[in-house]
Structure 1
Amino acid sequence: MKTILKILGVIVLLILAYAVIAMLAFSKDYHFEKSIVINAPKEKVWQHVGSTKAFNEWNPFAKADPNIQITYSGTPGTVGDSYHWKGNDQVGEGEQTVTAVVPNEKLSSDLHFIKPWEGMAKGNFILTPEGSGTKVTWAMDNELTTMMKIMKPMMDSQMGKMFGQGLDELKKISEK
């Protein structure tokens, strides 16, 4: 019994040490990006990333709730193009607004997360020629709270999975 208690004590101490180190050492600035090369010209790929409505055709976060409610506003593919989503606990609620557009090259947006927690982030889609295809980079930047720093490795894993699913779907529909 003493051995089990000692092992549990060491595990608890290791978890606490990790939490303290994460809170002190990890930067509050969070950047995540993932890229894929698509065998299609950037003009064709742009059709699927150049507006919020086109993005939601393959957006893995929106697809996580088959009953998600999405309301669009603004002119598609221009600054101010936006959508508001409201979904289940996994998807939450928020809005995304296009803040900059360079046709066939870059789309930037602000994300406002409302539920399950309040937060802001910036997103980018960058298209660059790569051989006879197009390299698409999907990036997100935000600021982590002290407690979120502890979850950074889990966030990286989840973001990698979701961005990967989305970019794979984008590749599939762009190469048709």
Structure 2
Amino acid sequence: MKNRRLKSIVLWFTFLLLAISATVFSLEYFSNYKSSETIHIDAPVITRKSIVINAPVEKVWKVFSDVNNWDAWQKEIVTPKINGAFKPGSSFNWKSNGLTITSTLQTVEINKMVGWSGPAFGAFAIHTWYFTEHNRQTTIRVEESMEGWLVTLLKSTFQSSLDSSIEYWLDALKTEVEK
């Protein structure tokens, strides 16, 4: 009787794991995210932040567009590597907050705008960065949207994490450029 009950529990547990695995696989495999030049305003997680940097836009742009060196000043990013030139269509690989990400540049307007998008496990993000200069100060405005089954499931966690990550990124960029 005891062995039969144990076998039943193991069987149900195995079935449950297989069902969860099949569901996650299906959600990942059949996800159809659409890239765009701007964020998706209907995404479950959206962040908008800005900062003023006391430097001309060319200096800010030079630091920001050097993807391979992001990890020198942005400690949340690990092993960034751009696959080609900093132009639309180029992809770059990076790790941030434990997620391995491959992003593709959608828009690059030198000293004005950068947009990229990319999937990560259970998520798809679109980042758009706007650069404007006034009186030798650069204002950066960032918008990011995140969507996907995991983002929807853990919306408040993703929102909080994204808000603090973007704030950290902007502060780190400001610190690096104003050295």
Q: CA deviation at 1:70?
A: 4.3
When residues 70 and 48 of structure 1 are mapped into structure 2, their CA distance, relative to the original with a 3 A threshold, is closer
1:136 pairs with one of 121, 137, 140: 140
1:161 pairs with one of 164, 170, 178: 164
- The answer on 1:43 being equivalent to 2:58 is yes
- The answer on 1:74 being equivalent to 2:94 is no
Q: CA deviation at 1:33?
A: 1.9
Q: Which stretch shifts more, 51-60 or 28-37?
A: 51-60
Q: Which amino acid aligns with 2:125?
A: A
Provide the aligned length of Structure 1 versus Structure 2. Answer: 138
Structure 1, residues 20-49: CA drift from partner, whole Å, max 9, x if none? Answer: xxxxxxx64432121111011111111122
- The answer on 1:53 being equivalent to 2:68 is yes
CA distance in 1, matches of 2:65, 2:56: 14
Structure 1, residues 84-120: CA drift from partner, whole Å, max 9, x if none? Answer: 2368xx513220121111100101111221xxx2332
- What's the Cα RMSD here? 2.5
Alignment gaps of 5+ in structure 2: 1-41
Give the equivalent residue in structure 2 for 1:111: 118
Instruction: Report the TM-score, using the length of structure 1 for normalisation.
Output: 0.66
